[in-house]
Amino acid sequence: MDFKTLRHISQNYSLLYVEDYKIIRDKTATIFRNLFKVVDVAKDGLEGLNMYQDYYKSNSEFYDIVISDIKMPKLDGIELTKKIFEINKKQMIIIVSAYDEKEYLVELINLGAHGFMKKPFTSTSLLKILFDSCNSLKNANKISLYDGFEYDLTTATLYQNKKNVDLSANEIKLLYLLIKNASHSFSAASIFNHIYFDEPQKEFSEDSIKSLVKRLRKKIPRDFIYNTPKLGYSVRL
């Protein structure tokens, strides 16, 4: 396993890194920033939780990976893990622990943590667990729908019978939003804000969202997108 091979996969993903020890935090964050598309860094568990929630509010999606130390002020790694799983049960979380913290690992395994790194970790062990994690994400991000459709979350690409389905830029944004957050429903207003986040002057139009959904429905599996009164749009996976 080498850095270049890992980066080929990891550059598609976002990461939240939570570590209270500044020297380790700064050094490791530098490595992460050369690997991942987005890297946010928190100095304690409470700040990490706030950043996790804020990232979702700003991007309408969760971080792909969370890496957290166990022993931290304000909110330790176990409590942070619990609170994140309350928000997103599918979150990939990697825990960093010292050799004298083995008693915590059983609880974290039971909670659903994806993996563990021992302190002090080597570059080899770090690259290996990141490669395994990114590979898991890559495989998990290939979603089989029905009627011969498949969706790749990593590249935001829709296929039918192995052929690329041509989507407009806004159709790509909408489909990605709904599939990435399949357990959530989105109002027309929240979809509008997601699609036109870089055009703050654009006035909201519910009809434009209805029209976009209608166009997209013609290119995807039948009844894949549905609209629940008072909740909004979601997909059937």
Question: For position 175, what pLDDT does the model report?
Answer: 95
112 and 158 share one domain: no
- Cα distances from 21 to residues 17, 41, 61, 98, 222, in angstroms, run 12, 12, 28, 13, 52
In this prediction, what percent of the chain has a pLDDT beyond 90? Answer: 54
Q: For the chain, what is the total number of helices (H) and then of strands (E)?
A: 9, 11
Of 140, 161, 187, the position where a domain reaches its end is 140
Whether the pTM exceeds 0.75: the reply is no
Of 140, 156, 179, the position where a domain reaches its end is 140
Of 117, 140, 163, the position where a domain reaches its end is 140
CB-based contact 117:98 (threshold 8 Å): no
Residue 79 belongs to domain spanning: 3-140
Bridge pairing between strands 157-160 and 163-164: antiparallel
Q: What is residue 131's three-state secondary structure?
A: helix
In eight-state DSSP terms, residue 202 is S
87 and 164 share one domain: no
CB-based contact 92:85 (threshold 8 Å): no
158 and 195 share one domain: yes
Number of domains in the chain: 2
Strand partners, 163: 160
Tens digits of residue pLDDT in 178-221 = 998 888 899 999 999 999 988 888 899 999 999 999 999 999 99
CB-based contact 237:143 (threshold 8 Å): yes
202 and 230 share one domain: yes
Q: What do you get for the CA distance between the two ends of the chain, in Å?
A: 34
Tens digits of residue pLDDT in 68-107 = 998 888 998 889 999 999 999 889 999 888 765 566 676 6
